[in-house]
Structure 1
Amino acid sequence: MKTDVAIVGGGLAGLNAARLLQAAGIDFLLFEARAALGGRIQTVNERGQPDADGFDLGPSWFWPRMQPAIANLVAELGLPTFPQNNDGDVVFERMSRESPKRYPGLVQEPEAIRLVGGSAALVRAIAESLAEGRLRCGAEATDMRLTEDGVELFVRLADGREERVQALHAIAAVPPRILDAMVRFEPALDSATEQLWKQTPTWMAPHAKFFAVYDRPFWREAGFSGTAQSMVGPLAEIHDATTSSGEAALFGFVGMGAEQRKTIGEKALTEGCIQQFVRLFGEQAAHPRATLYKDWAADPLTATPADWFSAGHPRAPESGWVAGLWNERLTLAGSEVSPIEAGYLAGAVEASAAAVADLIQKFATNKG
């Protein structure tokens, strides 16, 4: 199997790279290890199944005024949006022996915006625009080898078979840590590049999100926005997750480390989160119709053991992400390598656009 560019990773960064390569007339094949496209973009219904109108287990919103790259892509694709709900009072929970305090909400600037249908609307729109047969799911990249005229990529399929792909260039649209952990390179990466990748945290990897789905957004009726901050837990930061179609939900980020979450277990965490919602928003929170829990640290395609103890946004190195022999044949394009919005949806768009622009220039120079 031959192509001009082999893309590893079918999240937003990989799909946007594919979209831009297609627009430039450059042949590509994209390989995604998961059974479905999207990477950390996962929109599901209350049963936890992928849905066109669901709840975002990964990134939920963006800020158009601060992040023009993602705003422009959403506009270009013609995707409808709606504002994240902030109307109403906010709640702050400082310590367990005190009752939560209620305060008037403030106008949020810049305004956070969500996509109608969830963040996966981006994934669907781009995937539908790409040529048939260019996207391969359930295809995990395991090895890359430099050849005389490019890169040889080895891919393991869901049924255990292996495919070999010849490409002029490879784009890795995955977090650097995941790339280092899952792909063997021949020749080996230089030590500086390997250490850089290992030391780059993956955004969202240490975190977990909990959702409670209700028949109606009762907190809004009581004058709450659904926003809360807590130093008691188990949730540290809470928001309204109600969909554009009115499916009512609250969600929060679990405010404890991955190892502690694993020890406590999902059942006890779920009970604790519901009890917290009752403390913050009243007795009506005690009976959710459904709950969802996503621990990104337990996802091997998102987190490595190093991510259990490391958080924060990655920082772009001055010397670039790939050095040594691989510099001319491999480009990193995941959100973590964005110099401006690392870890965010906007970072995925910016990093992939920069990678493709650089590649187009290289191809033009080589042809000349």
Structure 2
Amino acid sequence: MSAEQESVDTIIIGGGLSGLYTAFMLTKKKKSFVLLEARPRVGGRILSPAHNGFFTDLGPSWYWPARNPRVNALVKALDLAGYPQFESGLCRFQARDGQTETIPGYPMNPPGWRLDNGMISLVNGLCSRIPGDRIRLNHPVCKIKRLDNGARVTVGCLDQVPQCRLEASSVILALPPRLAAGSILFTPDLPHDLTQAMLRASTWMAGQAKFFALYDKADWRRSGLSGQGFSLCGPLGEIHDGSGKTDSPYGLTGFVGIPALRRKDSQTMIQAILGQLALLYGHTAAQPVSVYYQDWAQEPFTATEYDQRTAHNHPEFLPPSGKTSTWNNTLHFAGSETADDFGGYLEGALSSAERAVLSLG
């Protein structure tokens, strides 16, 4: 059976924040486009499971109003609101031998903020302003072929996905360069130095796992603790108070410090984390009303085999091989890892999308 074919001005590949912001800007410009997302949901690494109206951020958690003008502007444009990260009180520290002590805290500088209703509110706000028929879920892209006046994108190389083809004057890759280089067949081949640069570009959070526990009470606050914690033995390496603006429900959230290749199944990890929280914050910390765990290294539309080693220090992200486009300005790079500034952050996702849309003319 022949593949279904469709033509538009622009094809956006990737439905994370960068791809959605690109679609939002093209909608305002009244441009013809489609957004192709491999997952059955939009948001990419923004993932915020709901618990009784509260949203637990298992991907990006903060933005910094003093340093993120684009995020600030988008929050206002979408009529959203944020609140400062709770950091009042002392911090807990766990040495390599498991010994714990209470130390002064390390407040973020500049202060970090969380969003009411979680970071997913950015995703929902953008989607509400993009025509619904322009976003195609369950559309994994496997091939991009350069044409004389644009490119042809093939979707659905997996057996369970119906195949279709789309043609456009421009294609915007709004996904991590490493993921694009490892999962999409480009015809003709991209330049060798560009492909290698894409494969070398780390994907922020791709090797990480996050945990979120919710409570009816915050006993750690009553003990003079901020909820902040650091551990050299794990399983969590970094912990923060994840409570809502109005406090209830209260939360503890953190990043797993164990490398992806050494992590066990989710239930084993959750039990180990709860034991660690009890040691750091008291026995009630092991009795949350709900827990959430996300291992991003197990997400095929986020991580590749090269991402199994967690990038603990924030890499310096730049456009791959210094290029923001290729194929004679047909193929454009977006996505936070290609940003000229704030790469890997929400701000970088927005700035790379702005750059890609501007390059379309």
TM range (shorter): over 0.9
Superposition TM-score, scaled by structure 2 size: 0.92
Residue of structure 2 in register with 1:365 after alignment: none
Distance in 1 (CA, whole Å) between partners of 2:353 and 2:320 is: 18
Residue of structure 2 in register with 1:253 after alignment: 255
Distance in 2 (CA, whole Å) between partners of 1:72 and 1:225 is: 29
Distance in 2 (CA, whole Å) between partners of 1:288 and 1:150 is: 53
Partner SS, residue 130 of structure 1 = coil
Instruction: Tell me if the contact between 1:5 and 1:29 (Cα under 8 Å) persists in the aligned partners.
Output: yes
Instruction: Tell me if the contact between 1:52 and 1:121 (Cα under 8 Å) persists in the aligned partners.
Output: no
Distance in 1 (CA, whole Å) between partners of 2:334 and 2:107 is: 35
Residue of structure 1 in register with 2:181 after alignment: 180
Partner SS, residue 253 of structure 2 = strand
| Structure 1 residues 11 and 97: CA distance shift in structure 2, 3 A | closer
Q: For residues 149-170 of structure 1, what are the alpha-carbon distances to aligned partners after superposition, in whole Å with 9 as ceiling and x for unaligned?
A: 1111111299521111110000
Residue correspondence of structure 1 range 191-202 to structure 2 within 5 A: 191-202=192-203
Structure 2 letter corresponding to 1:41: I
RMSD of aligned alpha carbons: 1.9
Residue of structure 2 in register with 1:152 after alignment: 152
CA shift for structure 1 position 117: 0.5
Q: Does 1:221 align with 2:226?
A: no
Partner SS, residue 64 of structure 1 = coil
Residue of structure 2 in register with 1:31 after alignment: 36
Structure 1 letter corresponding to 2:323: W
Distance in 2 (CA, whole Å) between partners of 1:350 and 1:336 is: 11
Q: Does 1:306 align with 2:289?
A: no
Instruction: Tell me if the contact between 1:200 and 1:314 (Cα under 8 Å) persists in the aligned partners.
Output: no
Once the two structures are aligned, what percentage of the paired residues are identical?
35
Instruction: Tell me if the contact between 1:190 and 1:323 (Cα under 8 Å) persists in the aligned partners.
Output: no
**Greater shift after overlay, 293-302 or 240-249?**
240-249
Distance in 1 (CA, whole Å) between partners of 2:339 and 2:25 is: 17
Residue correspondence of structure 1 range 89-100 to structure 2 within 5 A: 89-96=90-97, 98=99, 100=100
Distance in 1 (CA, whole Å) between partners of 2:50 and 2:74 is: 25
Residue of structure 2 in register with 1:363 after alignment: none
Residue of structure 2 in register with 1:125 after alignment: 125
Instruction: Tell me if the contact between 1:21 and 1:28 (Cα under 8 Å) persists in the aligned partners.
Output: yes
Structure 1 letter corresponding to 2:156: R
- Paired residues in the alignment total 352
Residue of structure 1 in register with 2:290 after alignment: 290
Q: For residues 283-341 of structure 1, what are the alpha-carbon distances to aligned partners after superposition, in whole Å with 9 as ceiling and x for unaligned?
A: 111212222211111111110010112524243158533676x2421001000001211
Which consecutive residues of structure 1, in runs of 5 or more, have no partner in the other structure? 361-368
Q: For residues 95-151 of structure 1, what are the alpha-carbon distances to aligned partners after superposition, in whole Å with 9 as ceiling and x for unaligned?
A: 4353x2213435543111111100000000011011231111111111111112111
Q: For residues 47-84 of structure 1, what are the alpha-carbon distances to aligned partners after superposition, in whole Å with 9 as ceiling and x for unaligned?
A: xxxx8631011001111111212112112222111111
Instruction: Tell me if the contact between 1:52 and 1:118 (Cα under 8 Å) persists in the aligned partners.
Output: no
Residue of structure 1 in register with 2:340 after alignment: 339
Q: Does 1:2 align with 2:4?
A: no
Q: For residues 237-288 of structure 1, what are the alpha-carbon distances to aligned partners after superposition, in whole Å with 9 as ceiling and x for unaligned?
A: 0011123352222111111111100xx3323322221111111111111212
Residue correspondence of structure 1 range 32-181 to structure 2 within 5 A: 32-46=37-51, 53-96=54-97, 98=99, 100-105=100-105, 107-156=107-156, 160-181=161-182
Distance in 2 (CA, whole Å) between partners of 1:64 and 1:218 is: 29
**Greater shift after overlay, 58-67 or 288-297?**
288-297
Distance in 2 (CA, whole Å) between partners of 1:317 and 1:124 is: 28
Q: For residues 163-214 of structure 1, what are the alpha-carbon distances to aligned partners after superposition, in whole Å with 9 as ceiling and x for unaligned?
A: 1111000001000011112211111111111101111000000111122222
| Structure 1 residues 277 and 303: CA distance shift in structure 2, 3 A | same
Distance in 1 (CA, whole Å) between partners of 2:58 and 2:74 is: 21
CA shift for structure 1 position 35: 0.4
Structure 2 letter corresponding to 1:89: L
| Structure 1 residues 314 and 106: CA distance shift in structure 2, 3 A | closer
Residue of structure 1 in register with 2:3 after alignment: none
Residue of structure 1 in register with 2:240 after alignment: 239
| Structure 1 residues 318 and 248: CA distance shift in structure 2, 3 A | closer
| Structure 1 residues 289 and 318: CA distance shift in structure 2, 3 A | closer
Distance in 1 (CA, whole Å) between partners of 2:148 and 2:104 is: 65
Instruction: Tell me if the contact between 1:203 and 1:314 (Cα under 8 Å) persists in the aligned partners.
Output: no
Q: Does 1:19 align with 2:24?
A: yes
Residue of structure 2 in register with 1:366 after alignment: none
CA shift for structure 1 position 24: 2.0
Distance in 2 (CA, whole Å) between partners of 1:23 and 1:95 is: 53
Partner SS, residue 309 of structure 1 = coil
Instruction: Tell me if the contact between 1:86 and 1:226 (Cα under 8 Å) persists in the aligned partners.
Output: yes
| Structure 1 residues 117 and 230: CA distance shift in structure 2, 3 A | same
Distance in 2 (CA, whole Å) between partners of 1:328 and 1:156 is: 25
